[in-house]
């Protein structure tokens, strides 16, 4: 096996983690981080509280505009807007751009919760100018995704997409938040993961309950994705209020 190369910045972080610091250094550094986190929460809460009912769309930043999943995400966003929802994305390229584009082109609210990263990402051009929010901390950003969304549409993606998906599933499973619809789009992409959950987590290891498998739906089309969300809220006679 080839030896893994470690980035110079990563080496500095590893070395720094073992460095002994005195109390004044610890107190100063921690206090500054606390104030930055508080500022991000306050800014996010103030802006997001005015948004209204929205659905968060997740997926890969690497998906190109000519890819079928980009086009499906764009279509889903457009349909959500016509059904009275705004659209929240991570604000970057790929599936996120598709979601914002579909919302913007249908005249709906297009929200971007962008994250500052060393290799990506700038806010895409389809976000409403007053609804682009920048974050430095992933965990603050994830709170905004969950707190202000009436549903999750999860397109194919990478680690970040899986992180958002399992965060939402865990919070609902443990009843830390109320139930809302989670829709996985792309049966061929998600079927392997779902089979593993059924075979390993449920049947073999019994690490989840059978009812946990009902916390999400799998669809292939934009129509079915939006229908899952509409059907969920129709049971409670609830509709978007804008």
Domain locations in the chain as residue ranges:
24-234
Length of the chain: 242
pLDDT value, residue 241: 46
What's the pLDDT tens digit per position in 67-109?
Answer: 999 999 999 999 999 999 999 999 999 999 999 999 999 999 9
The CATH number of the structural domain formed by 24-234 is 3.40.50.450
Predicted TM-score of the model (pTM): 0.86
Q: What are phi and psi of 67, to 5 degrees?
A: -80, 145
What's the pLDDT tens digit per position in 28-61?
Answer: 667 888 899 999 999 999 999 989 999 999 999 9
- Adjacency order of strands within the sheet including 217-219: 132-135, 110-115, 86-89, 54-58, 152-154, 182-185, 217-219
pLDDT value, residue 239: 60
In terms of average pLDDT, the best of 2-16, 120-134, 169-183 is 169-183
Helical H segments across the chain, by residue range: 8-17, 23-48, 68-82, 95-105, 138-147, 159-173, 187-196, 222-234
Residue 154 and residue 201: Cα distance in Å, rounded? 21
pLDDT value, residue 119: 65
- Tokens representing 123 are 């806010």
Residue recorded with tokens 């829709």: 183
Q: Coil, helix or strand for 25?
A: helix
Average pLDDT for the chain: 89
Peptide bond into 121 cis (omega under 30): yes
Tell me which DSSP letter residue 54 carries. Answer: E
């Amino acid at each position: 096996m080839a030896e893994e190369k470690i980035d110079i910045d990563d080496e500095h972080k590893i070395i720094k983690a073992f460095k002994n610091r005195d109390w004044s250094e610890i107190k100063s550094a921690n206090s500054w981080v606390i104030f930055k986190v508080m500022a991000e929460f306050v800014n996010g809460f103030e802006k997001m509280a005015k948004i209204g009912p929205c659905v968060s769309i997740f997926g890969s930043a690497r998906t190109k505009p000519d890819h079928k999943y980009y086009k499906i995400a764009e279509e889903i966003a457009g349909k959500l807007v016509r059904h009275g929802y705004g659209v929240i994305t991570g604000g970057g390229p790929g599936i996120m751009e598709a979601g914002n584009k579909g919302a913007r082109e249908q005249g709906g609210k297009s929200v971007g919760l962008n994250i500052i990263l060393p290799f990506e990402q700038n806010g895409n051009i389809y976000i409403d100018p007053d609804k682009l929010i920048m974050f430095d901390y992933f965990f603050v950003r994830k709170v905004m995704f969950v707190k202000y969304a009436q549903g999750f549409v999860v397109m194919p993606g990478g680690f970040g997409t899986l992180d958002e998906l399992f965060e939402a599933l865990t919070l609902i499973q443990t009843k830390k938040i109320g139930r809302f619809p989670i829709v996985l789009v792309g049966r061929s992409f998600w079927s392997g993961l779902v089979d593993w959950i059924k075979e390993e987590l449920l049947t073999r290891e019994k690490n989840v309950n059978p009812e946990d498998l009902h916390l999400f739906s799998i669809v292939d089309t934009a129509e079915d994705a939006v229908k899952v969300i509409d059907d969920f809220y129709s049971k409670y006679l609830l509709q978007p209020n804008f």
